[in-house]
Amino acid sequence: MDPGVIRKLDQVVVNRIAAGEIIQRPANALKEMMENSLDAKATSIQITVKAGGLRSLQIQDNGTGIRREDLEIVCERFTTSKLQAFEDLSSISTYGFRGEALASISHVAHLTIVTKTKSEKCAYKASYEDGKLKGDIKPIAGNQGTQITVEELFYNVPMRKQALKTPNEEFQRISDVVSKYAVHNPQVCFVLKKFGESASIRTQAKSTTANNISTIYGAAIGKALIPIEVKDDILQLSVDGYVTNVNFSLKKGICLMFINHRAVECSALKKAIDAIYSVYLPKGSAPFVYLSLELNPHNVDVNVHPTKHEVHFLHEEEIIEKVKLLVERALLGGNAARAYTQALLPGASQPPDSSKLNETLQGGEEKPRLDYKYVRTSHSEQKLEKFFGMSSQTNGGSQDDSEEVKEPKLTQPSPSRKKKVKKETRLTSIHNLRQRLEADCDENLRKIFRELTFVGTIDREQVLIQYDTKMFLAATQTLAAELFYQLMVFNFGNFDRLTLSEPLELRRLALQALADPESGYTEEDGSVDELADRIVEILVEKSPLLREYYNLSIRKDGFLESLPIVLENYIPSVVFLPMYILRLATEVEWDEEEECFHTFSRETATFFSRIALTKPEKEYRWEIEHVIYPAIRTHLMPPKEFAKNGCLLQVANLPELYRVFERC
């Protein structure tokens, strides 16, 4: 057999192979662009994501911008302003230096740059494909800084695109990257949001690291932080950061590690810190750790991995030992006072000696119940509101004239004495959605929600609920969004009509939504009037489907007459109706049946779940206690994701409190 002929690869193939090493998923692309923004001295970075970054990933900063004359080559490989000679690698202090980030992105996506420097009179817009400028550089109105839009990522690498996770999982990876850099750069304002939705991460400029940790990862972590700091002139090492005390633990640890301001992974250092905490924490739990190490740049090799998430440095063993001792001293010093309660996700590991506290729940032998196992709650007893001078008996419909919401009214039909016969659907797509929900249900969480006792409303986002001898903090809007989605799926084709007192013009609603900054609309999207007309056209075209399955009635002349009743005694606020109409036209996948029903139900659930943002206090408190949480108790099948996304946090456990007071 003859040997194969060795040929030189085509340059396009070479570039795509190189791009695949650097841009492995949307989060990698964002990390590269975010580091460019930080190198450009930006103090504000805003990121907008669509479909997990695969459809669109946009980052906008207020940094120094890119010069007009550099735009022609900015997306070519190995073009950079941060490196001139090979020797410069020994003292590199910026994030980027090889000049491969934008080039790699342009080889696997459609890339558009809008940029303006301080000295230029206007901004310039340029598009790129395969590392080359596509078309002319156009002058355009814009603020100082750079806006980069990456669209249809991996459109020409279908196997890579198919191998990626769901849009929600990809968005979570993006969120993780933004969270790390927001914690490490508290002087910069970071905003991350999904297209058309409110921000999921928002930090303030000139903040502090501790504040940003609390904002992003939760107040419970923020309260448990212990600062650590050391300088070693011999090792040319400076360390600062935060670790959580031994009273706090997570089911899955969080470790943020930076070396010379670069987010990296150092398995040896992480393993050493985990070994320290294993002495203090229950098995299966882990701490939150944020560490920032500054070393002499001459001692660090940053060019050992295409994505730069690994670095090599001199004196590694000595430095790890130094950090290990620093963390040990911090934990010993912060262990003087033990906390009475511990915030745990449902199902998180309990201390070994508390494993027998719930024998009655596990179906073990019946034994005399100890005092601390009695559940002291009753639905008829007083609620938390009494202690804050609020009445929990207020009917949701009664409110002062001064609190009346000035908006079109939605009216439910009078209840009929004759029970409505439920129509059963034969659509395979709906059965698939229902089976998916049932398969993903977490039975432990379901038991908690089925047997919950409502304790009281904390604010418009959180309530306290009790299950058995445990107290939980519940995120109302997250739970409500899932509840309404499941009601949309399981009641498909059986919705009553929620009638508007006066039909609303869809075009007017669309124009209101497009004027809202939350919509993400820019002049580049086209004329506002044309977009509004297109929105009306889409919804009028789909109106027969919406009327038949959801009782959402749209007239042929473009007027909205009614919405579905998703939950009895609950009426959504029409303040959010314009954005709902916009998202129905732009976010629902109308062309594929199952995806259409899924996305329509998600968008409708989001609209209905924005519970109390505009309602008077008495009304929303009544609604949450007497409508939303009874429905959660009856209908919700909590997905497995709820066990780890923080929507339900254990804040107290009666047996644990008894043990504390016994020691006192």
**pLDDT tens digit string along 599-624?**
999 999 999 988 755 667 778 888 88
Q: Between these two residues, 22 and 253, which has the higher pLDDT value?
A: 253
Residue matched to tokens 């739990």: 285
Considering the chain, what is the average pLDDT of its residues?
Answer: 81
Q: How confident is the model at residue 395 (pLDDT cuts 50, 70, 90)?
A: very low
Q: Which of 271, 263, 273, 278 is nearest to 311 (CA)?
A: 263
Provide the pLDDT for residue 405: 36
Q: What is the torsion angle, in degrees rounded to the nearest 10, for the CA atoms of residue 562, residue 563, residue 568 and residue 572?
A: -110
Token representation of residue 7: 């040929």
| Number of Cβ within a 10 Å radius of residue 403 | 12
Weakest mean pLDDT among 39-53, 347-361, 364-378, 409-423: 347-361
For the stretch 75-130, pLDDT in tens is 886 665 544 444 444 444 455 444 577 888 988 899 999 999 999 999 999 999 98
Structure letter (DSSP) for residue 609: H
Query: What backbone torsions phi and psi does residue 254 show, to the nearest 5 degrees?
Result: -120, 125
* Angstrom distance (rounded) from CA 278 to CA 328: 12
Length of the chain: 664
> By the 8 A CB rule, do 64 and 40 touch?
yes
Strand order, beta sheet including 470-475: 453-457, 462-467, 470-475, 648-653
SS3 assignment, position 571: coil
Most confident of 152-156, 165-169, 188-192, 359-363: 188-192
Share of the chain above pLDDT 90, in %: 45
Question: Which amino acid would we find at residue 95?
Answer: Y
Give yes or no for residue 403 having a pLDDT over 60.
no
Provide the pLDDT for residue 359: 36
Give yes or no for residue 512 having a pLDDT over 50.
yes
Domains and CATH numbers, the chain: 11-202 (3.30.565.10), 209-333 (3.30.230.10), 376-382+423-493+615-663 (no CATH), 496-565+574-609 (no CATH)
Q: C-alpha angle 174/252/279, rounded to 5°?
A: 140
Provide the pLDDT for residue 425: 85
H helices of 558-616, in order, are 577-587, 593-609
Q: Between these two residues, 506 and 76, which has the higher pLDDT value?
A: 506
Question: Which amino acid would we find at residue 283?
Answer: K
Give yes or no for residue 236 having a pLDDT over 90.
no
Give yes or no for residue 42 having a pLDDT over 50.
yes
* Angstrom distance (rounded) from CA 220 to CA 243: 13
* Angstrom distance (rounded) from CA 70 to CA 427: 56
Provide the pLDDT for residue 290: 96
236: left (phi over 0), alpha (psi -120 to 50) or beta: left
The pairing of strands 453-457 and 410-411 is: unpaired
Give yes or no for residue 515 having a pLDDT over 60.
yes
| Number of Cβ within a 10 Å radius of residue 215 | 20
Q: Between these two residues, 353 and 476, which has the higher pLDDT value?
A: 476
Q: Is the pTM of this model over 0.75?
A: no
Provide the pLDDT for residue 612: 54
For the stretch 642-651, pLDDT in tens is 988 888 888 8
Structure letter (DSSP) for residue 300: E
Q: Between these two residues, 411 and 221, which has the higher pLDDT value?
A: 221
Provide the pLDDT for residue 384: 54
**Furthest-apart CA atoms within the chain: distance in Å:** 92
Q: Between these two residues, 163 and 599, which has the higher pLDDT value?
A: 599
For the stretch 542-589, pLDDT in tens is 999 999 999 999 999 999 999 999 998 888 888 889 999 999 999 999
**Rounded average pLDDT over 242-256:** 91
Bridge partners, residue 191, by sequence: 46, 202
**Rounded average pLDDT over 214-228:** 93
